[in-house]
A and B are shown apart, each in its own frame.
Chain A
Amino acid sequence: MSVSRLLKILVLSLALVNVAVAAQSPAQIEKDIGDKVYCLCGCVTTLNHCPMLQCAEKEEMRGIIRADLKQGKSEPAILQDLVNRFGEKVLAAPPASGFNLTAWVLPGIGLLIGLLLAMAIVRRWRRPAVQAAAASTAHPVDESVRSAVEEEMKKYID
């Protein structure tokens, strides 16, 4: 079995374990929603993190979530209910649709452009292949010697 296949199996099994672990109780769903919505009291933190003591807004929002859970609503349905009542600003992350999609996509695009740029710089910086080959044939060096030199260089050049 190749190393890449082994890695694929490992990643896949970890993902499956992750999904299996994710089966949730109502209390867990309430907690998860509390991490995904902001408290509207002005504390500028998520519902679970609101530091205000006896916060009326926090209690109201928790009351809505619990009532929805009692009605058997799913997590997305409860989140939609909160958006309908309080507007999109209640969500701790913008939904990935319309203009808000740019919030999610742009960092990925930036990462990709950066990678392409880095690769382009590396390519531009590289010695022409002929020159490099000529350099290597002009001074043939034993691999063990090269490794030893690299080790030595790491000690002094840093």
Chain B
Amino acid sequence: MNQVGAVGLIAALVFAIYGMITGAIAGKLRSPRMLKSAQRAVLGFFAMATLAVVSLEYLILTNDFHSAYVASHSSRELPMLYKIPVLWSGQEGSLLFWTWLLSIYVAMAVLLNRRKNRQLMPYIISICMGVATFFSLLTFCVANPFNQLSLATATGVTPYAPPDGNGMNPSLQFHSMVIHPPMLYLGYVGMAIPFAFAMSALMTRQLGDNWIRVTRRWVMVPWMFLGTGIVLGGLWAYHVLGWGGYWAWDPVENASLLPWLAGTAFLHSVMIQEKRGMLKVWNMVLIILTFFLSIFGTFLTRSGIISSVHAFAKSDIGPWFSVFLAIIAAFSLTVLFLRLDFLKTENRLDSIASRESGFLFNNWILLAAVLAVLWGTIFPVVSKAIQDVTVTVGPPFFNKVMIPIGLLLLFLTGAGPLLAWRKTSFQSIKRNFTVPLIFAALVGGILFYVGVHRLYTWMSLFLCAFVAASIVGEFYKGARTRMKTSKENFFSAIYNLTMRNTRRYGGYIVHFGIVLMFVGFAGQAFRFETQGLMGPGDLLQAKDYMFRCESIDTGKKANYQYETASLSVTKDGHSLGVMEPQKRFFIAEQQPLSHVALKSNLARDLYVVMAGTDPDSGKAIIHVIINPLVQWVWIGGMIVLLGTILALIPSRIEREMADLHKSQQEVAEAHHVR
């Protein structure tokens, strides 16, 4: 099976190179035959990349330790649930996985555009296959997952298989880790498609409404995956790392945030181009930046150039990525520069108090966030290169810089939708802002009264109230109009309103999810921690909660040994049940890991870690954290996901417009063929 996988990988590389060349020729010569050939190359690339992935999974599932990759990242006792993610737990496998996901995206782009966007498709295929060539080449030449172990003996080199593998990194053996990396990768990889659409539109001078409408959806899908991946990563860090937090401004975390922020900026500014024909160059820049940051993120994650708690693989792929990033920047900026004349703005701004300028300032803040995160992330490398001093840029830096930026962004989230396109009159501003501001002031007053005195925390919750009120107001006003005009009841009105314009109301739901996440972030200001040594019968108080150690037990599972402290928890004399934090020792990997015990409700999480055993007393070191409002981060993340899915569903208006456009395009295509 090793050979089959290797053949699949080589064949995928050949198909990628062929598709890149034929796609470019088809674009240049406008040849339908060459386009067909390029499309077949894409499907061939998908089939061969799939063969390589299936082969590697087969080697993993059958414990074939002749494979160097399987021997390094898996073991016999590794549970089946965690055998599948072995594919992306190491450098070689994850690059193959990247290549395979790209093959899925490109194949989908080809299949969904069999009868559409015929002029754009040749260059789209060529560009995507160019990216595929890079990743296939990298996987084949630098990080080949199909290398076999061998022993040099007197009779020559013979294949070798150790009795068992080294196992998987214990911190990766967690349920959200099974889906977190695929989500992130789907986000990173998917940004190649809108990039290819944008470049193709520039190269073919097809810069009308069509490419932007199609591209928006192709950005939204990976943006959704990236966002979901980021939240799942936070969930993993919260449950596995044992420090009671979910975001540490680690370089790899930042790497995933960068394209998400740039993509968010695009999803907002694209509306100005659609409605007003403005910001055309800027949108191109954002698409290029988003794709560039996606590749940069993959580079940071996989190269280990910057120390990170998430850098599970380090290798010498850095120079390859540097060259590839330079090629992307040079190619895309050259194409953009050559087509600047086709990207003239069609309209003028009527007023500063308008939705357009709201989006412009939203883009300003998002790009400032990108710059701040990027600069903080790469500063250790810059410092080492310039002053030969190793510095660390961690949470104190990012919190100081990013909290004000985040609050500004939160304000615009609420204020933007209250502004009308073209021009908003003073009367309208007064009318639209009054209720949300009064509600926010009321909430702010109550918060101050109950003891929320930290400036940023207070401001965050004040703005959350403002944004939430503005969103609810938008739904209410829309529903009230429908109730008057269509005689619908309130719930039907809300439903029909939303389904009539899924993009707008899906967007509001996304905003509401962001608000809930900010509520969760603000809760961190009230975090409480305590620690104590506990043996059977010992007590530990954490605010109103009393923990009593009932027993400390040891045991063994298939792939780890464990020590568990059973702690009964009471509050004001009422039992809240038993919590069982665990210390695990993974046998194959020879690594210890704590398993957090959690009791959650919407107000707070009780977070208990068994940090170790005191060598003198033999008692367990128990660390208790009371984490207020954390659940709102996960709930908010889920609502962002639902809102995005809703925004992806075509609304009735969009479907009608799409039908009209399709018939127009068919007529144009028929002309083109003749």
Contact = CB atoms under 8 A, between A and B. Distances in A.
A48 B243 contact: yes
Contacts of A92: 392-397
B391 A100 contact: yes
Contact of A122 (B349, B387, B428, B478): B349
Given A51-B241, A155-B481, A157-B421, A99 B350 contact: no
Interface in B372-428: 372, 375-376, 379, 383, 386-387, 389-397, 400-401, 405, 420-425, 427-428
B504 interface: yes
A146 B427 CA distance: 10
A117 B363 CA distance: 11
A153 B420 contact: yes
A111 interface: yes
Interface in A9-44: 11, 14-15, 17-18, 21, 31, 35-36, 38, 43-44
A67 interface: no
Contacts of B478: 155
A140 interface: no
A125 B400 CA distance: 34
Contact of A93 (B171, B241, B345, B396): B396
Contacts of B405: 111
Interface string A114-158: 110110011001110000100000000001101100110111011
Given A51-B243, A103-B375, A125-B278, A35 B501 contact: no
Contacts of A43: 309
A92 B394 CA distance: 5
B455 A158 contact: no
A151 B418 CA distance: 10
Nearest to A11: B455
Contacts of B250: 44-45
Contacts of B386: 99
B454 interface: yes
B209 interface: no
Given A88-B391, A94-B397, A107-B371, A146 B383 contact: no
A31 B308 CA distance: 22
Given A89-B391, A143-B425, A127 B241 contact: no
A21 B425 CA distance: 43
A91 interface: yes
Contact of A147 (B242, B349, B431): B431
Contacts of A155: 478, 481
A18 B396 contact: no
Interface in A77-93: 87-93
* Most central of A45, A89, A93, A99 by chain B CB within 10 Å: A93
Contacts of B650: none
A35 B592 CA distance: 24
A122 B352 contact: yes
A147 B394 contact: no
Contact of A103 (B171, B393, B458): B393
Contacts of B394: 38, 46, 92-93
B420 A154 contact: yes
B308 A127 contact: no
Nearest to B251: A44
Given A122-B349, A125-B348, A147-B431, A46 B395 contact: yes
A53 B612 contact: yes
A49 B241 contact: yes
A54 interface: yes
Contacts of B285: none
B666 interface: no
B548 to A, nearest CB: 23
B562 to A, nearest CB: 12
A107 B309 contact: no
Contact of A121 (B360, B393, B611): B360
Nearest to B363: A118
Given A14-B453, A14-B458, A35-B396, A118 B428 contact: no
B307 interface: yes
A45 B248 contact: yes
A76 interface: no
A1 interface: no
B372 A107 contact: yes
B357 interface: yes
B421 A14 contact: no
A8 B587 CA distance: 61
A127 B529 contact: no
A95 to B, nearest CB: 9
Contacts of A90: 392
B583 interface: yes
Contacts of B275: 157
Contacts of A107: 368, 371-372, 375-376, 401
B503 interface: yes
A125 B349 contact: yes
Given A46-B395, A93-B397, A147-B425, A110 B390 contact: no
Contacts of B592: 53-54
A87 B375 contact: no
Contact of A44 (B309, B348, B612): B309
Nearest to B368: A111
Given A89-B392, A153-B420, A125 B248 contact: no
Contact of B248 (A49, A91, A122, A144): A49
B391 A94 contact: yes
Interface in B271-299: 271, 275, 278
A90 B308 CA distance: 15
A125 B345 contact: yes
Interface string A36-75: 1010000111101111011000000000000000000000
A147 B455 CA distance: 36
Contacts of B368: 107, 110-111, 114
B433 to A, nearest CB: 13
A156 to B, nearest CB: 8
B245 interface: yes
A106 B378 CA distance: 13
B594 interface: yes
A103 B379 contact: yes
Contact of B360 (A18, A111, A118, A146): A118
B396 A122 contact: no
B390 A127 contact: no
- Closest 6 interchain pairs by CB? A125-B349, A92-B394, A107-B372, A49-B243, A93-B397, A93-B396
27 contacts: A11-B455, A14-B453, A14-B455, A15-B455, A18-B454, A38-B394, A46-B394, A51-B171, A53-B594, A88-B390, A91-B391, A92-B396, A93-B392, A94-B383, A94-B397, A103-B383, A107-B372, A118-B364, A121-B360, A125-B356, A126-B349, A126-B352, A146-B427, A147-B427, A150-B428, A153-B422, A158-B504
Given A14-B458, A46-B248, A46-B394, 16 more contacts: A35-B395, A43-B309, A48-B243, A50-B243, A51-B171, A54-B612, A88-B391, A93-B393, A104-B401, A125-B349, A126-B349, A143-B425, A146-B427, A147-B427, A147-B428, A153-B422
